[in-house]
Chains A and B, each alone.
Chain A
């Protein structure tokens, strides 16, 4: 598993896409930081977090598109599956690699609150909550991306699939609110975004954290099943 984890991180930073995404993400963060915090002279970083968490549904699909699709296309899947590692380890190794890449991205975001702290003392709890929420949200979106990448050997289709899935998940809350009544309750319970919002107020919302982790587990499990299923049906 470690071998796969290391290889994927290295391979990710070998491609130009990594730097384009990293640059784009940092640029967008900086842009919103400028408008929300500097220009309007506010010390509240949370609105920036909310905005960039939406940007994730564009960035994560591109980040994860090749993670499994490429192995299938190049035939390296045979190497992984026929070596003495289980499918579970393969999926987990790949997922964790993407998670590490994502953490590197989040570290860059952390620069901006540090700048604020250099000049003042904003309340730390909501910021920390947002940070944890942002990471959990990102981790969940990555699990969707990994799953989408396992479904196809075409990276463009993988991007499209994960983007659609993420968009639906993003819209679940608004759809629920529009419907109202019990549908709103159910859909809000499932919505990643409403769970994320719980964190932004500075609450360490354990049930939500558990929900995020279960969400990730389900998608990783599905990914594993997809690979297993294909092993049975291919020649």
Chain B
């Protein structure tokens, strides 16, 4: 649905975005993750045709945004970082204007707007002036605006920024629901958001792609070892020895002593070897019961920090 190839944006000597390539399939929700200033908004502005790229191409629904902007733009609904609202209009007036702008068929207009307003839940304030709305409502009107003309592709730039936790959950649910009919690119610098909503994540840093994968694969597949936490009732000296003897264990560390002789350990092992079963049998044989055992996937935060900061920063 969206094909991005070798996208580069230069401002004089500075490269805001350099050599980005990725594709988004139909019906997919793609998370676009990166620290502030990584080039997320720039990339989104280029995809939507608001600003031109210095090099590379963007194709939306098969149309090149530079060569055939009108057709390409018909497929896109865009919610920029700052919702593009006319403060002196009511919601109904504003959405009518947007439908006209996006050349929605006059006969379909009213029904479509009613549906959209119902969907983002602004029907009850439809006749209020936009300038009098709260931030959460303004954001929803912004989202409604992107939905006008039922475009195949939705580009949402930090859609939950500045909302309260309840609104954030609502908007996320809404985006997930929208993902059934639309292809969505969603940018964020909040990791749980991306892992909650997106099927695939592109992490960018300093204008370059740092990683592309599903949130699960990213947290599983990163690094060479897997980590888990285990709490065992037994004297430290002998338990530690037993754990070390298991094939594949690379590293054991006492984490905290919960009660006397009930100790929590962090165990690291080779990624390819599951040491949890041998651990269970070893402990059963020795007569030290395992109280708790859970694997510690790297969170997206860990991966993110790992990718966007230098190695030194992570080790600290």
A residues with a Cβ closer than 8 A to B are: 2-4, 6-7, 10-11, 14-15, 74-86, 231-235
Contacts and interface: CB of A to CB of B under 8 A. Distances in A.
A83 to B, nearest CB: 5
Interface residues of B, number: 35
Contacts of A81: 49-50
Contacts of A78: 45, 48, 50, 78, 80, 82, 84
Interface stretch (B94-102, B120-128, B210-218, B233-241): B94-102
A233 B11 contact: yes
7 contacts: A2-B100, A75-B80, A79-B84, A83-B101, A84-B73, A84-B102, A235-B9
Nearest to B11: A235
A76 B82 CA distance: 9
Given A11-B88, A76-B86, A233-B11, A86 B51 contact: no
Interface in B45-80: 45, 48-52, 69-71, 73-74, 76, 78, 80
The 3 closest A-B pairs by CB, nearest first: A3-B100, A79-B84, A75-B82
Contact of B51 (A3, A10, A14, A232): A232
A80 B16 CA distance: 24
A3 B74 CA distance: 16
Contacts of A14: 88
A234 B102 CA distance: 24
Contacts of B52: 231-232
B174 interface: no
A6 B42 CA distance: 31
B290 to A, nearest CB: 54
Nearest to A93: B101
B71 to A, nearest CB: 8
B145 interface: yes
Contact of A75 (B16, B71, B83, B93): B83
Nearest to A90: B101
A57 B136 CA distance: 42
A15 B129 CA distance: 13
Contact of A84 (B50, B51, B93, B103): B103
Contacts of A77: 84
B297 to A, nearest CB: 36
Contacts of B82: 74-75, 78
A6 B99 CA distance: 13
B85 interface: yes
Given A82-B73, A235-B42, A74 B49 contact: no
Contact of B84 (A2, A75, A85): A75
B89 interface: yes
A2 B101 CA distance: 8
B229 interface: no
A7 B73 contact: no
A210 to B, nearest CB: 31
